[in-house]
């Protein structure tokens, strides 16, 4: 079976991990945390980095740090992971969703402004699968209406929008270091911002909101979202290779595209747009209606031929958990509904070889060409 993801850990990972063991620094107090925070923040052009347990809690802390809560609305894409909407709902606010663009699969930025109400507090952008959201229109709308911008850059390490690093847009940005991301810490995440007060809020929220001058006394509730020195050791070693990793993923994407573009049954994400060159977090495809079955059946057929796959995101407005809460009544997002059912991605991990890509591509071709 060709796995859908396998990370590449053959740099300084072992050396730095051994340092954790040899020195006994294994908790969140170790020296690698600060180094990882500083280097990662600098890499994406931010002043402050706050390392956390994973990319999902990075969003939770960011929403609360921005003061988003009861009665507020946040505009976000429907085509994304549950973490984005869950953070908004848990904070007591209401997610308002935007459909996807049929070509890039990112949020359709032309649909944002019509959704703004007096309760709208923020826009959450989520860059999808390797191409950034078209940020200029989003930032213009946010400035015009006085809205905060939260940028979920979990899939965008090393990507740029018009030459500016993803993760440097808006008031606050978040990353994940799950093993299928461009760099990994096993589990892990990072919040980045240029706002010192927001950074302080996030640090406090990450660490149970201990009062700095009176430990074990709390004026508000936080979480234990701390990253360990062991995770940061991995992160540092991975970060050293980010440029190489992005180049690898781009080469993988180019090779897949060489094999699979021009097949009428398959729609691929563009290799580039006017503002970015795809970094192919994953290599996704959407089946045209000429294929008489959906992604679920396609994935079964590929599994029978030893090819690992994953389905596309399932839209937030169709999630049973949110429908039960009474959210998204009457919401319709036909593009996201379609690509969720007809889209899936093929093996895309950092350790994938050229031979494996050739095997995957020829198997896909056999099925759909």
- Chain residues that interact with ligand PLP, rule: CB under 6 A: 54-56, 80-81, 83, 126, 152, 154-155, 176, 178, 189
Q: How far is the CB of 360 from ligand PLP (least distance, A)?
A: 21
Query: Which backbone phi and psi does 310 adopt, to 5 degrees?
Result: -140, 145
DSSP character string of 15-69: HHHHHHHHHT--STTSHHHHHHHHHHHHHTT-SEEEEES-HHHHHHHHHHHTT--
Q: How far is the CB of 75 from ligand PLP (least distance, A)?
A: 16
Q: How far is the CB of 58 from ligand PLP (least distance, A)?
A: 8
Residue (5 or 54) nearer to ligand PLP, CB: 54
Strand (E) or helix (H) holding 73: strand 73-77
Q: How far is the CB of 62 from ligand PLP (least distance, A)?
A: 11
Residue 253 CA to residue 138 CA, distance in Å, equals: 27
Q: Which residue is nearest to ligand PLP (CB)?
A: 55
Q: How far is the CB of 354 from ligand PLP (least distance, A)?
A: 25
Q: How far is the CB of 238 from ligand PLP (least distance, A)?
A: 14
Residue (82 or 141) nearer to ligand PLP, CB: 82
Residue 247 CA to residue 254 CA, distance in Å, equals: 10
Residue (205 or 361) nearer to ligand PLP, CB: 205
Q: What is the C-alpha radius of gyration for the chain, rounded to an integer number of angstroms?
A: 21
Residue 80 CA to residue 84 CA, distance in Å, equals: 7
List the Cα angle 287/290/294 in 5-degree steps: 45
DSSP character string of 244-304: HHHHHHHHHHHHHHHHHTT-TTEEE--SB-SS-B---SSEEEEE-TTSSS-HHHHHHHHHH
3-state secondary structure of 96: strand
Residue (54 or 62) nearer to ligand PLP, CB: 54
Residue (135 or 154) nearer to ligand PLP, CB: 154
74: phi > 0 → left, psi -120 to 50 → alpha, else beta; which?
Answer: beta
Residue (7 or 361) nearer to ligand PLP, CB: 7
Q: How far is the CB of 305 from ligand PLP (least distance, A)?
A: 27
Identify the CA nearest to 340 among candidates 313, 309, 304, 306: 313
Residue (54 or 278) nearer to ligand PLP, CB: 54
3-state secondary structure of 123: strand
Residue (56 or 231) nearer to ligand PLP, CB: 56
Q: How far is the CB of 313 from ligand PLP (least distance, A)?
A: 8
Residue (59 or 96) nearer to ligand PLP, CB: 59
Q: How far is the CB of 281 from ligand PLP (least distance, A)?
A: 7
């Amino acid at each position: 079976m060709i796995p859908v993801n396998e990370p590449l850990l053959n740099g300084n990972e072992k050396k730095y991990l051994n340092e954790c063991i040899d020195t006994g620094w294994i908790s969140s107090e170790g020296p690698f945390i600060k180094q990882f925070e500083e280097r990662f923040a600098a890499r994406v052009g931010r002043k402050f980095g706050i390392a956390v347990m994973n990319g999902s809690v990075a969003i939770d802390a960011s929403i609360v740090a921005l003061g988003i809560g009861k009665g507020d609305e946040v505009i976000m894409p429907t085509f994304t992971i549950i973490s984005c909407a869950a953070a908004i709902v848990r904070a007591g606010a209401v997610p308002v969703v935007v459909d996807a663009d049929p070509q890039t699969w990112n949020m359709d930025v032309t649909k944002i402004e019509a959704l703004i109400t007096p309760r709208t507090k923020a826009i959450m952008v989520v860059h999808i699968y390797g191409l950034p959201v078209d940020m200029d229109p989003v930032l213009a709308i946010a400035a015009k209406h006085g809205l905060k911008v939260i940028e979920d850059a979990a899939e965008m390490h090393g990507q740029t929008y018009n030459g500016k690093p993803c993760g440097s847009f808006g008031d606050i940005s978040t990353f994940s270091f799950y093993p299928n991301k461009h760099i990994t810490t096993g589990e892990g995440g990072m919040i980045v911002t240029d706002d010192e007060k927001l950074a302080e809020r996030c640090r406090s929220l990450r660490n149970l909101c201990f009062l700095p001058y009176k430990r074990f006394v709390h004026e508000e509730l936080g979480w234990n979202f701390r990253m360990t020195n062991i995770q940061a050791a991995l992160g540092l070693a991975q970060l050293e290779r980010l440029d190489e990793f992005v180049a690898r993923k781009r080469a993988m994407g180019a090779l897949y595209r060489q094999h699979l573009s021009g097949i009428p049954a398959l729609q691929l994400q563009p290799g580039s747009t006017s503002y970015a060159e795809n970094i192919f977090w994953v290599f996704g495809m959407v089946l045209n209606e000429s294929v008489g079955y959906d992604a679920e059946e396609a994935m079964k057929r590929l599994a029978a031929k030893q090819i690992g796959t994953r389905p596309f995101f399932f839209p937030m407005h169709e999630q049973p958990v949110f429908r039960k809460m009474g959210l998204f009544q009457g919401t319709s997002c036909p593009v996201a509904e379609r690509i969720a059912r007809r889209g899936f991605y093929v093996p895309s991990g950092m350790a994938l070889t050229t031979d494996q890509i050739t095997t995957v591509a020829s198997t896909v071709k056999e099925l759909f060409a």
